A and B are shown apart, each in its own frame.
Chain A
């Protein structure tokens, strides 16, 4: 489904970035990085009005010519970004949501690992597996 999945720390540095190996990895890094502009803006806008009653899923951040970028922010301000190919129109909003939820659960598991130091980059096979699951599926459908 996704061509790139990223986890960004509260301080906006990357904790985890995986992209489809066939394409330019650097380009995805830039895409994810620039999408943080929109994430920041959305967080600050919501923060003012609703306080804690925030929806974690931010929806479509911005469409580029080739990709759609979706965002999700946990309560501890850790950001998840999923980049999807624009040509992939079959993907519903709900599916994106469930992808994020899965990602969040897996991330929580990583955080619960006593051997993981929060703030360090994620090195977890289980997390890798979840992410690959979301990315491999694309390869089969496309």
Chain B
């Protein structure tokens, strides 16, 4: 893939980690070594030190170190950064080589083993000739080591081994192969990491030391190179803060380089690399604003550095890549927890990347003329071997002067690049970037931006000749633009979509888009579409298409209305259908059909062109079609709704298109227009009057009508005399008079309680036609369909209805007269119904009464409205016969009638009474009031009413309001039929209603008796008057 030329090298994009080589491990055949290696590589989580390990054979050849230059005086650098450099330090030159060797301290062949180990170390050292790479030795031991200092043999032998290998003590490690392998490995790792850091530190020092030999005129490239290297080593050392600092210096140095056409690409490539590193580190340091600022600066600096005009597409490609890689960095940071906002999210960068890719496509179309012959493969000879320096031309590598060395070669080189560019699938790149951007904008709530990008994607698919996908995308967003009513944008999209549909030969889509383009959404210049439309329609293929217009904005508008919201059944129903064409030319159509909720009427609502004559619509003019039909009598009380309308364009013989509107018409745009019209209705109204023409926008749709019954010509009158009484046979007079011109047949009366009231009323209300018969529970609350016979014109008929109610409250009675009549208008029989509602209020009058034995005091009393009569009787209870304490008191029977109605008996059941027997009778004799601090004498009489001697205990409880004298507690006997008196002198202390001291009486002989009832005989309280003033004055006078 040619685009890969612009990809950032993977060694730039990865996170640099210290490189440590492990030698002396046989991971294939030795299980112990395998386990050690696994412990190093498995489970490298974030908490472990960042090292990349590699197993190498002991005699591995490391990259040769070139002899160090002692002077830079005559040295002219050939480029900024070698392509292999980063990879070399990431994967080839280790910071530390670790030699693994199996050796126990008490090995019997210690001497031999020690020298073998020393040899191995020597081999590694030789292959690292000239490098500062550290060497360390790890002894793999079977035994667990003793704590340091206790094993004298071990420390002695360790010292000799170090000597033999020329190692410092810090570079010798012991790895006991026991259960705790992972723990040991982690400790080893940390030690390695320290060594590696020292290595990178010395490397940084080494690079820095070159600086003094450089001069600003010839070694500018080296300044950049060295800063970049220092920064990269700092990254390997995990010193990201310093790395960032050095990268920043490197970045500013890059832009100080003398830029000319031949090295522009190199400068931009390096600037891009360094910028990438800076942004990456900024995101890593959680300073996204720095990253964005750096990126903006980078773009501003590089935007104008186009380089060679013949290769301008390269610049666009490079710019696109810059934006894309920044977008990816941003996105990655978000995945790691950064929060982005609506106006600053990766989507913008992807979008811009796509934008530059589009530029690239355009430029390459301009610059890479087709037909150029493929040049000889000469310029690419070196390409196979790869470039030495980043961003240089393959045909003049290492060349740094302003003019190209060979003009001819330069030309073929450029041509070769152009030819290569011609084969790039730009659309694919653009679509990929756009879809990335769409995903981002979706996430950050930018629906319109998303739509915009989807349009671009659709267009790109169109260019890539993938029309199905293009149409799908465009169709999807068209809806949004339609509802937002951005006609300008919609038209642009429609035009593309129309082309797609044409190229796909999708007739239906084509016609739909044509229709919209011709419609009122389109602003101007639709003649082209018009001719296209005609072409299509003329195609002789018998095709039928139905288009549901409510989702589109077609060039014909349709509105329908019933003249009235309701029609009487004897009137013809009037329906108007308005059509209007918005296109610039007249449109002809062949058929207009309306479908209604009751399909039987549809036949009346069709208009078809007669013969060859087409009906036509003039642009901007409204045409009205009137339909009228007669409703069926079964439909009385029902609604007729418009379910749809169909307009046929074209003819049956050829191709025809049915436009179908749902309901009463209207399409995707009409709701808003109606609103708009209603806002300005007053003004429009005036204009309409002025020019006597229908204004389309102010036409309102009436999509349903109600069929209602014929207006009856009959009068129903009710007469009655309120109020109605409870239980009364209340008479209501009904008079029916016909005003019809012909005989009203089968007159029927429905009379009674109006349904829908309280359910209980139905049970307490009874209706009958027969006044003589007493109405009872069997009578219904409603008499349905009582036949009254026929009524001649002008004839009068009277009826009485009796109503009996057993509960009070108001009731609504319904009188409903129905008849059928032959109407002359349509020659059909129509049943007309008429009803009249009369409200009757019933008021209960309480009438009380007499027992058979007694003469009632109320006999012959007449009660007026709101009057009340009451009666009183004294009852004596017979001696208690049974254990049951309750006694029935019988019934109360009233015979009554209102002024001229039959006599009625009302029975009232009297309540039951509870009886109790008490052996004693007690009553108190006391004055009606007391006075504060004046003696108040109270005498209690206690009577024995039984035939037995009663023993009584009495006690008076103290009270705060009174002092008293008298017996406080006494026990006495009362003979049968005799009476005892107790006298107390109370002395009130407080004024007002005061509770008297309570007298407790108990009968020790018969405890069963409830003495509580006795208390009811005694007064509870007494009113105490305050001390009089006169008394005071009198006493003063006396004094």
Binding site for B on A (CB under 8 A): 11-14, 17, 25-26, 29-30, 33-34, 36-38, 41, 61-62, 64-65, 117-120
Closest to A66 in B: B355
Closest to B355 in A: A65
Asked if B352 is at the interface of the complex by the 8 Å CB criterion, the answer is yes
- Are the CB atoms of A14 and B488 closer together than 8 Å? yes
Q: Interface SS of chain B: helix, strand, loop or mixed?
A: helix
Residues from chain A with a CB closer than 8 A to the CB of B446 are 34, 37-38
Residues from chain A with a CB closer than 8 A to the CB of B488 are 14, 17, 25-26, 29
Closest to A121 in B: B487
- Are the CB atoms of A37 and B683 closer together than 8 Å? no
- Are the CB atoms of B484 and A118 closer together than 8 Å? no
- Are the CB atoms of A30 and B489 closer together than 8 Å? yes
- Are the CB atoms of B676 and A33 closer together than 8 Å? no
Interface 9-residue window, one of B75-83, B367-375, B447-455, B882-890 = B447-455
How far apart are the CA atoms of A39 and B784 in the complex, in Å? 68
- Which of A25, A37, A117 is within 8 Å of B448, CB to CB? A37
B699 to chain A, nearest CB (A): 17
Mask: chain B, 545-584; 1 = CB below 8 Å from A; 0 = not: 0000000000000000000000000000000000000000
- Which of B455, B486, B679 is within 8 Å of A117, CB to CB? B679
- Are the CB atoms of B485 and A13 closer together than 8 Å? yes
Asked if B680 is at the interface of the complex by the 8 Å CB criterion, the answer is yes
Asked if B1035 is at the interface of the complex by the 8 Å CB criterion, the answer is no
- Are the CB atoms of A12 and B343 closer together than 8 Å? no
How far apart are the CA atoms of A41 and B445 in the complex, in Å? 8
Residues from chain A with a CB closer than 8 A to the CB of B492 are 26
Mask: chain B, 658-682; 1 = CB below 8 Å from A; 0 = not: 0000000000000010011001100
- Are the CB atoms of A26 and B676 closer together than 8 Å? no
Asked if B342 is at the interface of the complex by the 8 Å CB criterion, the answer is yes
Q: Which 3 A-B pairs have the closest CB atoms?
A: A13-B485, A117-B680, A37-B446
- Which of B342, B355, B489, B680 is within 8 Å of A38, CB to CB? B342
- Are the CB atoms of B452 and A33 closer together than 8 Å? yes
Q: List 29 A-B contacts (CB under 8 A).
A: A11-B672, A13-B485, A14-B486, A25-B488, A26-B489, A29-B488, A30-B455, A33-B452, A33-B484, A33-B486, A34-B446, A36-B448, A37-B342, A38-B343, A38-B446, A41-B342, A41-B445, A61-B343, A62-B343, A62-B348, A64-B348, A64-B352, A65-B299, A65-B352, A65-B355, A117-B680, A117-B683, A119-B675, A119-B679
Binding site for A on B (CB under 8 A): 299, 342-343, 348, 352, 355, 445-449, 452, 455, 484-486, 488-489, 492, 672, 675-676, 679-680, 683
- Are the CB atoms of A30 and B343 closer together than 8 Å? no
Residues from chain A with a CB closer than 8 A to the CB of B352 are 64-65
A20 to chain B, nearest CB (A): 16
Contacts known (A37-B342, A117-B683, A119-B679); A13 close to B486, Cβ less than 8 A: yes
Residues from chain B with a CB closer than 8 A to the CB of A33 are 448, 452, 484, 486, 489
Residues from chain B with a CB closer than 8 A to the CB of A65 are 299, 352, 355
- Which of B445, B485, B489, B675 is within 8 Å of A37, CB to CB? B445
Closest to B342 in A: A41
Residues from chain B with a CB closer than 8 A to the CB of A120 are 676
How far apart are the CA atoms of A29 and B485 in the complex, in Å? 12
How far apart are the CA atoms of A14 and B299 in the complex, in Å? 33
Residues from chain A with a CB closer than 8 A to the CB of B343 are 38, 61-62
How far apart are the CA atoms of A15 and B178 in the complex, in Å? 81
- Are the CB atoms of B676 and A117 closer together than 8 Å? yes
How far apart are the CA atoms of A62 and B351 in the complex, in Å? 13
Closest to B489 in A: A29
Contacts known (A13-B484, A33-B489, A37-B448); A118 close to B679, Cβ less than 8 A: yes
Residues from chain B with a CB closer than 8 A to the CB of A13 are 484-486
Residues from chain B with a CB closer than 8 A to the CB of A25 are 488
How far apart are the CA atoms of A121 and B925 in the complex, in Å? 103
A37 to chain B, nearest CB (A): 4
Q: A29-B488, A37-B448, A119-B676 are in contact. List 12 more A-B contacts (CB 8 A).
A: A13-B484, A13-B486, A14-B486, A33-B448, A33-B452, A33-B489, A34-B446, A34-B448, A34-B449, A36-B448, A38-B342, A120-B676
How far apart are the CA atoms of A141 and B672 in the complex, in Å? 42
Residues from chain B with a CB closer than 8 A to the CB of A38 are 342-343, 446
How far apart are the CA atoms of A116 and B551 in the complex, in Å? 30
- Are the CB atoms of A37 and B449 closer together than 8 Å? yes
- Are the CB atoms of B484 and A34 closer together than 8 Å? no
Closest to A60 in B: B343
How far apart are the CA atoms of A29 and B452 in the complex, in Å? 10
Residues from chain A with a CB closer than 8 A to the CB of B342 are 37-38, 41
Closest to B303 in A: A65
A142 to chain B, nearest CB (A): 17
- Are the CB atoms of B452 and A34 closer together than 8 Å? yes
Residues from chain A with a CB closer than 8 A to the CB of B675 are 119
Residues from chain B with a CB closer than 8 A to the CB of A117 are 676, 679-680, 683
Closest to A116 in B: B680
Residues from chain A with a CB closer than 8 A to the CB of B484 are 12-13, 33
How far apart are the CA atoms of A114 and B675 in the complex, in Å? 18
Residues from chain A with a CB closer than 8 A to the CB of B449 are 34, 37
Closest to A17 in B: B488
A5 to chain B, nearest CB (A): 15
How far apart are the CA atoms of A10 and B648 in the complex, in Å? 38
Closest to A45 in B: B342
Candidate in A17, A25, A37, A120 with the most chain B CB atoms within 10 angstroms: A37
Residues from chain A with a CB closer than 8 A to the CB of B679 are 117-119
Residues from chain B with a CB closer than 8 A to the CB of A118 are 679-680
- Are the CB atoms of A29 and B445 closer together than 8 Å? no
How far apart are the CA atoms of A28 and B452 in the complex, in Å? 12
- Are the CB atoms of B355 and A37 closer together than 8 Å? no
Residues from chain B with a CB closer than 8 A to the CB of A17 are 488
Residues from chain B with a CB closer than 8 A to the CB of A119 are 675-676, 679
Residues from chain B with a CB closer than 8 A to the CB of A14 are 485-486, 488
How far apart are the CA atoms of A32 and B980 in the complex, in Å? 113
Contacts known (A37-B448, A38-B343); A29 close to B676, Cβ less than 8 A: no
How far apart are the CA atoms of A13 and B683 in the complex, in Å? 23
Residues from chain A with a CB closer than 8 A to the CB of B489 are 26, 29-30, 33
Closest to A119 in B: B676
Candidate in A17, A26, A34 with the most chain B CB atoms within 10 angstroms: A34
B341 to chain A, nearest CB (A): 9
Contacts known (A12-B484, A13-B485, A30-B489); A37 close to B447, Cβ less than 8 A: yes
How far apart are the CA atoms of A125 and B448 in the complex, in Å? 31
How far apart are the CA atoms of A11 and B483 in the complex, in Å? 10
B674 to chain A, nearest CB (A): 12
Closest to A44 in B: B445
Candidate in B348, B449, B683 with the most chain A CB atoms within 10 angstroms: B449
Residues from chain B with a CB closer than 8 A to the CB of A37 are 342, 445-449
A44 to chain B, nearest CB (A): 10
How far apart are the CA atoms of A117 and B342 in the complex, in Å? 35
How far apart are the CA atoms of A61 and B449 in the complex, in Å? 13
How far apart are the CA atoms of A37 and B440 in the complex, in Å? 14
How far apart are the CA atoms of A34 and B355 in the complex, in Å? 16
How far apart are the CA atoms of A114 and B486 in the complex, in Å? 26
Closest to A35 in B: B448
Residues from chain A with a CB closer than 8 A to the CB of B683 are 117
How far apart are the CA atoms of A25 and B489 in the complex, in Å? 10
Closest to B676 in A: A119
How far apart are the CA atoms of A11 and B673 in the complex, in Å? 13
How far apart are the CA atoms of A39 and B484 in the complex, in Å? 15
Residues from chain B with a CB closer than 8 A to the CB of A29 are 486, 488-489
How far apart are the CA atoms of A119 and B342 in the complex, in Å? 29
Closest to A12 in B: B484
Closest to A14 in B: B486
A91 to chain B, nearest CB (A): 17
Residues from chain A with a CB closer than 8 A to the CB of B455 are 30
Closest to A117 in B: B680
Residues from chain A with a CB closer than 8 A to the CB of B355 are 65
A58 to chain B, nearest CB (A): 11
Closest to A120 in B: B676
